[in-house]
Amino acid sequence: MSFKAALFDLDGTLLDTLQDLAVSANTVLTENSMPGHPVDKYRYFVGEGLQVLIERILPEEQRTEQIIKKLAGEFKAVYSQNWKATSGPYDGISEMLNQLETAGIRLAILSNKPDEFTRMCVAEFFPDNQFEPLFGARSGVPKKPDPAGAVEIAALLRLEPAEIAYLGDTATDMQTAVRAGMYPVGALWGFRAAAELEQSGAARLVNSPCEFLELF
């Protein structure tokens, strides 16, 4: 294997954002007189975009288009105040990124997090790393596991998808990598378990960022 680029998911892969996401979502629920959820439950609520997150945390009888849209807007307002309260890179991530760049490996990010928040997080936590392209969820572009964003990134990098190793922590990421023709690598320090990653097509599982470096 000779990979020329690394494509990363963001939440649960490069950054541990679970607490801030959960607190923001529970704040919105509480303000709307709805029950919140334990932080650990959010490991399975997040990953497929804001609309899906809101739908999953709502009581079943409240999952109307109008309520989802309202709470999604409220979540953005709350999260814009809380997004870096406790979030930060997982151990070894910054060192891994620096070593990849030193080795001439190109870096890119594809997240289902809203694009503005994706860019805020990267600017805050990885100011010295060059991610090009850097995409969050964008209007008019299908979210993962649709491979459109990943295929677009390969084209912008002028690389074949098979020359790109994709590191993510959910079934959504592994499915995206497989559908795009990239090499799917599951991050075991993230939000989901090994079984989910394997069942979704992970070609390799890594226990730490330094293990990911072994692919290059």
- Start-end of CATH 1.10.150 domains in the chain: 18-82
Task: Quickly name the fold that domain 18-82 has.
Answer: DNA polymerase; domain 1 (1.10.150)
> Token digits for 62?
């409240």
- Start-end of CATH 3.40.50.1000 domains in the chain: 5-16+87-213
The four Cα atoms 6, 149, 186, 178 give a dihedral, to 10 degrees, of -110
pTM for the model stands at 0.97
List the chain pLDDT tens, one digit each, 216 residues.
Answer: 789 999 999 999 999 999 999 999 999 999 999 999 999 999 999 999 999 999 999 999 999 999 999 999 999 999 999 999 999 999 999 999 999 999 999 999 999 999 999 999 999 999 999 999 999 999 999 999 999 999 999 999 999 999 999 999 999 999 999 999 999 999 999 999 999 999 999 999 999 999 999 999
Which CATH architecture fits 5-16+87-213? 3-Layer(aba) Sandwich (3.40)
184, β-bridge pairs: 166
Q: Helix 65-82 crosses helix 18-31 at what angle (to 10 degrees)?
A: 130
Is the separation of the CB atoms in 90 and 189 below 8 Å? yes
> What three-state secondary structure class fits 131?
strand
